[in-house]
Amino acid sequence: MNLEQARFNMIEQQIRPWDVADPEVLHLLSVIKREDFVPAAYRALAFVDMEIPLGQGQFMLAPRVEARMLQDAAVQKHEKVLEIGAGSGFMAALLAHRAQRVISLEIKPELVAMARANLQKAGIHNAEVRNFDGAKGSPGESPFDVIMLSGSVAEVPKHLLAQLKVGGRLVTVVGEEPVMRATIVTRTSETGFTTTHPWDTVVPRLLNFPEPSHFHF
């Protein structure tokens, strides 16, 4: 398998057509070795347009979804980022190249170990993976410039929005199958927020976030 050709094809055939045009994002995807963040059994699928099983019932998001979320977050070099759902550490690696500091929360100890090892192997030292229930956020470290939820939720919890700086952004996917929407919430003031839904997709759920009641009377 020609890894560089596969990487090039992923960028040109999956990611660019999904309205990812930020040259820095495209460059990161060309130089950060996605295959090193994929479990060995799935290495041949590292550049395929699919979610990759990580074990523990968790998944690595499809490349085009990761790229679009990274672009939408518009992380700057001076910013502090909270990621919820470290998975294999790949999104933390991408974020770390754009941010000053990344704190990534992962509830599954096996994935914490995987993500830490992958980030160390990649030589990334400004991203820290913690074994913690990310549904709570990290109030002791807040406020954050960016909060990235690497999975879907039924709704955006208000306690996470409270952990954003003014001018900060929360990026996630909200809804239920078959329709989920990318959601970007920007904190415009102490009490003000604006929300956009730039694209639709379906991605796996993050753990321990509240689900809506489906009881009808």
pLDDT over 70 at 139, yes or no:
yes
pLDDT over 60 at 110, yes or no:
yes
Residue 97, classed as helix, strand or coil, is helix
Average pLDDT estimate for 92-119: 97
The pTM (predicted TM-score) of the whole model is 0.95
Please report the pLDDT score of residue 211 as a whole number: 84
Query: Phi and psi for 23 in degrees, rounded to 5?
Result: -60, -30
Domains present along the chain, CATH in parentheses: 3-201 (3.40.50.150)
> Do 162 and 194 touch, CB atoms closer than 8 A?
no
Greater pLDDT, 45 or 212: 45
Give the confidence band of 213 by pLDDT, cuts at 50, 70, 90: low
Least confident of 52-61, 92-101, 108-117: 52-61
Helix, strand, coil shares of the chain as percentages rounded to 5? 35, 30, 35
Closest CA to 194 of 170, 159, 162: 170
Task: Classify strands 144-153 and 58-60 as parallel, antiparallel or unpaired.
Answer: unpaired
Please report the pLDDT score of residue 214 as a whole number: 62
Average pLDDT for the chain: 95
